[in-house]
Amino acid sequence: MEGRATIVNIVPEGTMITPEDVNDGKVLVELDSSKLEEQLAQREIELTTAEASFADANESYLIQVKQNESDVTAAKLKVKFALMDFQKHLGESIARKVIEKMDSDPNSNPDMTSLVNDPNSLGGAASQQLDTLQDAILLARANLEKANDVLKGTKKLFDANYASELELKGAELDVSRYEVQERAAVKDLKLFQLYDLLKETETFLSNYNESKLELVRTQARARAQLAQAKAKLVSAKATYEMQKKRLKKLHDQIEACVIKAPAVGQAVYWSSTQEWSRVKMRRA
């Protein structure tokens, strides 16, 4: 027992210890344990609190592990979907070339204008849009050519008094309408090549690059959060183990306040500097 202790009960010196005394656990010396008993309740509360904190930290750690797995998986899916969008837009072949160039030189800025200069290299949705716009021009020109032929024939009929002026005006309006359609189709193609194609391509590429950066950030954040959760778990476990040891030590001290007969013999005491130091059993 640590520190000073007050003797509250002690058998007289010379008391003979019988086998029955040993079997019954006869108390030879009893020390005052009241202060230790007062500490016991507080130690038990502290242990219960530490145990709850340890359980909570362990649960939080497991939750963080699962959350990290979920976050990283979601971030990887974003990268996958962003890549699929980019490939869908340009076609898998040219998208792969652009990405390989960027991977080999992260500081490079792919020249998307080359896609306009070589539209035949396009694939995916961009190629479909380009085909649709080009087809619109071809259709408008075919309709315009047909309308011009009709107008020429109508003029001849009109000059020969076989067609009315109203029919002539209608043929002229058809030509004008298809001329407008052709100009609009040509303009739509130029706008797509100069602006929309570049804008959409840059947007899809930017989304892909950003998704990769977000994946890196998510993984770094996951590592940091897991490290924090682990540190809290280690700290909570250490506190719990310490409180268990403190409580056990207190129980041991309280138990040490009662000295029972260890063997048959005679109780003999001696002191050092006027203090009781220990009990010695002199065997009979």
Per-10-residue mean pLDDT of the chain, 284 residues long, equals 70 82 81 82 94 98 98 98 95 87 75 64 87 96 96 92 92 96 96 91 93 97 98 97 94 85 80 46 46
Q: What is the pLDDT of residue 283?
A: 46
Q: What is the pLDDT of residues 93-107, one digit of tens each?
A: 888 888 888 888 777
Distance CA 122, CA 83 (A): 16
Q: What is the pLDDT of residue 113?
A: 66
Distance CA 214, CA 225 (A): 16
Delimit the domains of the chain by residue range.
Answer: 33-256
User: Which residues, including other chains, have CB under 8 Å from residue 239's CB and lie 6 or more apart?
Assistant: 50, 53, 54
Q: What is the pLDDT of residues 74-85, one digit of tens each?
A: 999 999 999 999
Distance CA 226, CA 219 (A): 10
Distance CA 271, CA 29 (A): 14
In contact, 151 and 174? CB cutoff 8 Å: yes
**Cα 32 versus chain centre, distance:** 57
Residue with tokens 């649960």: 59
Q: What is the pLDDT of residue 279?
A: 45
Q: What is the pLDDT of residue 142?
A: 97
* Number of helical (H) and strand (E) elements in the chain, helices listed first: 7, 6
Coil/strand/helix, residue 9:
strand
Q: Are strands 258-260 and 27-31 parallel, antiparallel or unpaired?
A: antiparallel
Question: Kind and range of the H or E element at 171?
Answer: helix 165-191
**Cα 142 versus chain centre, distance:** 58
Distance CA 221, CA 68 (A): 9
Backbone dihedral angles phi then psi of residue 108, each to the nearest 5 degrees = -75, 155
**Beta bridge partner(s), residue 31:** 7
Distance CA 47, CA 20 (A): 39
